[in-house]
Amino acid sequence: MSKGVSLLSVAPMMEYTHRHYGYLLRRLSKKTKLYGEMTIDRAIAANVRLNQPSKVRRFLERNSNEKPVAVQLGATRASLAFNYDEINLNVGCPSEKASKSSYGCRLMKDPEVVCELTRTMIKEVSEWSASTNQPAIPVTVKCRIGVDDLDSYEHLTGFIEKIHNGSLYTPPDGSSQPAQVEHFIIHARKGLLGLNTKLNRSVPPLDYEFYYRLLRDFPQLKFTLNGGISDLDQVKEHLGRGAHGVMIGRAACNNIWQFAHADSIIFGATDPPPIGKLDLLMDYLQYALEREKDGDKKCTLLQPLSKTFAGRLTGQYLDRWRKMKSMQEVCDDVQANLGSVEECLTNRHPFYMMRHRLAQSKVEESIFDIS
């Protein structure tokens, strides 16, 4: 890891990469960095006002077991997010809602705004760091390789250069080091404003060569590659070509199990073999019981299980668990049917595999809804 850049990370994904998904990921890989689902400070402030502590916690509370973890913001203020390892600004979301607010892909047309936003974030981090004696947290940008007809390599390099230079914040009293954006996450396709978010992840073609040219042209900066990468073999291939870091999105929802080998294959760790499926399920249920006592909703707690244990467990048990009143009832059901649950986890019937493949496409049906 260099300047906080992780060799492997999971992309921010609304409604997916929340802390419950993070709990499962951490049981499989201690080192893969997780980018939590995007949040905007207005949403947090509204939840504080409406006295919704579990929602506020969902976005902001992070403990050391969950690290390495980054928060992605779609707004100016970083002051609520200091217990993360990185603060990332979303300059990639092509939705209309993002375009109307001060984040998302539209900002690739307006680098001055990105400079202002990142400089404000860096200033807040710097003041917090000086007042608490904690190390400063890097502020990073996730963007695309272009937007609409601004899709030349020259536009991209101009954008990167402006953000790097324009985000520089020098504390007036010299209380901490000057800082600026030094790490960009590049989703290697351009964004088309007006096209929905799902199609924006498949219609504009991937162009990894733009990414590799950035590595050559900005040797002083760090770049993480994102877009269309689905397994650890591909991650290794890109790292072998010199990528500083690789980020997996949809394939991290559809197959979280591949991260069980990430620590050894990507990070060279020699940790004990990863946890088995039944142990992971039991461990997660225990966690979910605790979270429910703390006010988290059962439906949100069950949500990551459907993809993690896709197959017979989903078909046979998850629908039933969704109808139950509490996580305690779910745990009792698992205990009463332990043999059958274990059987579901180990043997996969072809019918459920087919159902699973159909369900995989559902991750793409999510829409951004963050009002």
Ligand X SMILES: Cc1cc2nc3c(=O)[nH]c(=O)nc-3n(C[C@H](O)[C@H](O)[C@H](O)COP(=O)(O)O)c2cc1C
- How far apart are the C-alpha atoms of 90 and 39, rounded to whole Å? 10
- How far apart are the C-alpha atoms of 143 and 235, rounded to whole Å? 19
Interface mask (CB under 6 A) for ligand X, residues 192-211, using x and -? ---------x----------
Please say whether the dihedral angle defined by the alpha carbons of residues 259, 262, 263 and 269, taken in this order, is positive or negative: positive
Q: Using the minimum distance from each CB to ligand X, give the nearer residue, 37 or 263.
A: 37
- Whether the upstream peptide bond of residue 138 has omega within 30° of 0, thus cis, is no
The active-site residue out of 93, 115, 143, 253 is: 93
3-state helix, strand, coil in the chain (%, to 5): 50, 10, 35
Decide if 93 is catalytic.
yes
Interface mask (CB under 6 A) for ligand X, residues 41-80, using x and -? -------------------------------x--------
CB under 8 Å to 39, separation ≥6 — which residues? 59, 60, 71, 72, 73, 74, 370
- By CB under 6 A, tell whether 258 contacts ligand X: no
- Mapped onto helix, strand or coil, the DSSP state of residue 138 is coil
- By CB under 6 A, tell whether 14 contacts ligand X: yes
Candidate segments 79-87, 175-183, 227-235, 340-348, binder of ligand X by CB under 6 A = 227-235
Retrieve residue 33's tokens. 């960095």
Retrieve residue 137's tokens. 């947290």
CB under 8 Å to 361, separation ≥6 — which residues? none
Candidate segments 89-97, 234-242, 270-278, 298-306, binder of ligand X by CB under 6 A = 89-97
118-177: contacts with ligand X (CB under 6 A)? 142
Residue 185 bridge partners (DSSP): 142, 224
- By CB under 6 A, tell whether 360 contacts ligand X: no
Candidate segments 11-19, 215-223, 273-281, 338-346, binder of ligand X by CB under 6 A = 11-19
Q: Using the minimum distance from each CB to ligand X, give the nearer residue, 29 or 129.
A: 29
On whether the CB atoms of residues 47 and 287 are closer than 8 A, the answer is no
Q: Using the minimum distance from each CB to ligand X, give the nearer residue, 32 or 90.
A: 90
Task: Find the binder of ligand X among 22, 249, 304, 311 (CB under 6 A).
Answer: 249
DSSP conformation class of 70: E
Number of C-beta neighbours around residue 88 at 10 A: 25
- By CB under 6 A, tell whether 106 contacts ligand X: no
Task: Find the binder of ligand X among 191, 204, 228, 311 (CB under 6 A).
Answer: 228
Q: How far is the CB of 20 from ligand X (least distance, A)?
A: 15
- By CB under 6 A, tell whether 99 contacts ligand X: no
- How far apart are the C-alpha atoms of 327 and 18, rounded to whole Å? 18
Candidate segments 62-70, 231-239, 247-255, 282-290, binder of ligand X by CB under 6 A = 247-255
Candidate segments 18-26, 175-183, 225-233, 237-245, binder of ligand X by CB under 6 A = 225-233
Angle between helices 338-346 and 327-336 (to 10 degrees): 90
- By CB under 6 A, tell whether 107 contacts ligand X: no
Q: Using the minimum distance from each CB to ligand X, give the nearer residue, 15 or 333.
A: 15
- By CB under 6 A, tell whether 232 contacts ligand X: no
Q: How far is the CB of 277 from ligand X (least distance, A)?
A: 24
- Tally of CA atoms within 13 A in the half-sphere of 246 that contains its CB: 25
DSSP of 292-312 = HHTT--HHHHHHHHHHHTTTH
- By CB under 6 A, tell whether 248 contacts ligand X: yes
DSSP conformation class of 76: S
Residue 150 bridge partners (DSSP): 147
Q: How far is the CB of 52 from ligand X (least distance, A)?
A: 20
Catalytic (active-site) positions: 93
Point out which residues bind ligand X (CB under 6 A).
Answer: 11-14, 16, 37-38, 72, 90, 92-93, 142, 187, 201, 226-229, 248-251, 363, 366
